[in-house]
Structure 1
Amino acid sequence: MPTYWSIASASFRQYSTYRMATAAGVFTNTIFGFIRASILFAAITTAGGELSGYTIAQAATYVWLGQALLAPIEAFGTREVSQRVHQGEVAVDLLRPTSFLGLYYAQKLGRSAFLLLGRGIPPLVIGALVTGLALPEDPLSYLLGAFSLLAAITLAFLADMMVNLAAFWLIETRGLTVVYTAVMNLLSGFLIPILWFPDWLLGIARATPFPSMIQTPIDTLSGRITPLEALPLLGVQAGWVLVLAVAAHLMLRLGVRSMEVQGG
């Protein structure tokens, strides 16, 4: 455990040095937040002030929490592992005295912690000052929201890792990454709340782990659902974490075996 803590701390310090990139990320997140907020406000106003349970204040909270969580969850995915697989550098990772997935998960947690503080909180504060936020009154919502956020980061890591591990069998994974990112951003509830989906698309979304990556932590942290209503959703998150963890471990084992058979 001390080893992984050191890795996470090093990852946090590493990303804290990218000050210009952080400032640019805050600016971009804030601008897109205002654009998204204006679109949702227009839709709700046209619907008469409420749309599928969302008021203007709730929509503002949904937008700014989504912008705050975008960077730490890394909704657009990463390509580091797939590149290391294609370049053969993954062999070095597999020889380290740490778990392969544990190593990258620790890096992810350290990186996400900085991105939440450096790129997530500032747009949220700006949004709160400009449009206002509808925050929960029950302190338990914040505690459950923290657990939900950790589960969301874990789910996003495992799903993204599975896309990267496909590099053991695919020569190029950019196309797969693009498809994954598009599907994830739609079904996770990042673009619009999943309750705004037609019934058939809502059913598809709820059959995937994607809503657990964005919609669930937003709903929990915003207080749109009560702590009692949040508990089953946290259970769903935990179930998906288990499923994706098993799947990622299986893909890694099969990928390593494939590499060994080919003489890698």
Structure 2
Amino acid sequence: MYATLFVLGFRRWSAYRAAALGGAFTNCVFGLIRSAVMAAVVAGAGGALAGYDATTSATYVWLGQALIGPVQLFTWTELAQRIRTGDIAIDLARPADPLLSYLAADLGRAAFSLLPRGLPPMAVGLLATGLALPHAVAPYALGLASVVLAAALSFACRWLVNLSAFWLLDLRGPMTLYLVLSGVLCGLVVPVHWFPGWLAALAAATPFPSMLQAPIDVLMGRAGAQAVLLQLLWLIGLLALGRAGFALGARKLVVQGG
């Protein structure tokens, strides 16, 4: 059943091919801007900063732009909307776990996004700045697992934010706060390795670096199985928390007619 939901999630998002290509074009444009800024920062630091030179910092940017779509670092309010309208009652009546059902569909979305949203930024990066990527196969195999875990982690975090709709109904405040915190602490703006000590410690206490910094580090060969294991531990903990939060919210749910 969950495999079918995965396929349906893939098919659902593959219907919006023009939107996916438009998103890839936007990611490429921002990649050119961000790589230029990062190169200027590295040059201002003397040619190297926290282990990044001009080429590796550009590679970091292009991998980040390629993963924005699959990992889905931005807003998602589908669950909150169903809670607000009462349609969540249909999900509760289905013979399937709502958390796992939404997760399977979201992983299908991520699988589709890998090609149209991931390949164009990498191709532009290769032509524009060059890429510093490993020549061995192992980092890419481990990196694929890391990307899958990052996408699942992102979903688990967005699921938790959406659960606040059981109590708040209006999700704009929590979602805006989440987008700001996750965008900074995951390494989307600058690598987490560039953070001052106090901010790096704060980021390490959250799952956000495991959503972007970790898969990029693994794909670049800067991290290995330990980073993937940390992602897995965060995912298990957040899914357990998401299941408990959903059960708590469902107990107080009241919809018209029952």
TM-score by length of 2: 0.96
- Counterpart of 1:50? 48
Matched, 1:198 2:196: yes
- Counterpart of 2:115? 117
Give the Å deviation of 1:79.
Answer: 0.5
Q: Is the 8 A contact 1:79 1:164 kept in 2?
A: yes
Q: Percent identity?
A: 45
Inter-partner Cα distance in structure 1 for 2:16 and 2:169: 31
Taking only aligned residues, the RMSD between alpha carbons, in angstroms, comes to: 1.4
Q: Is the 8 A contact 2:187 2:209 kept in 1?
A: yes
Q: Is the 8 A contact 1:78 1:160 kept in 2?
A: yes
- Counterpart of 1:63? 61
Give the Å deviation of 1:78.
Answer: 0.3
Give the Å deviation of 1:239.
Answer: 1.1
Inter-partner Cα distance in structure 2 for 1:157 and 1:261: 26
Q: 1:261 to 1:125 in 2, by over 3 A?
A: closer
Q: Is the 8 A contact 1:68 1:120 kept in 2?
A: yes
Inter-partner Cα distance in structure 2 for 1:30 and 1:260: 45
Give the Å deviation of 1:128.
Answer: 1.2
Inter-partner Cα distance in structure 2 for 1:94 and 1:58: 47
* Cα distance per residue 1:3-31 (max 9 Å; x no partner): 11111112212211212211211110100
* Cα distance per residue 1:60-79 (max 9 Å; x no partner): 11001100100111101301
Q: Is the 8 A contact 2:86 2:255 kept in 1?
A: no
Structure 2 unaligned spans of 5+: none
Inter-partner Cα distance in structure 2 for 1:197 and 1:103: 37
Equivalent residue for 2:242, pick from 223, 236, 248: 248
- Counterpart of 2:228? 234
Q: 1:261 to 1:172 in 2, by over 3 A?
A: closer
Give the Å deviation of 1:260.
Answer: 5.3
- Counterpart of 2:140? 142
Structure 1 unaligned spans of 5+: none
Matched, 1:210 2:203: no
Q: Helix, strand or coil: the match of 2:168?
A: coil
Inter-partner Cα distance in structure 2 for 1:144 and 1:23: 27
Matched positions, count: 258
Inter-partner Cα distance in structure 1 for 2:22 and 2:39: 26
Inter-partner Cα distance in structure 2 for 1:14 and 1:262: 30
Inter-partner Cα distance in structure 2 for 1:245 and 1:128: 37
Q: Is the 8 A contact 2:71 2:150 kept in 1?
A: yes
Give the Å deviation of 1:262.
Answer: 9.8
- Counterpart of 1:108? 106
Inter-partner Cα distance in structure 2 for 1:260 and 1:176: 22
For 1:239, the aligned partner's letter is: L
The runs of at least 4 aligned residues of structure 1 exceeding 3 Å deviation read 260-264
Q: Is the 8 A contact 1:137 1:223 kept in 2?
A: no
Aligned residue runs from structure 1 range 25-174, under 5 A: 25-174=23-172
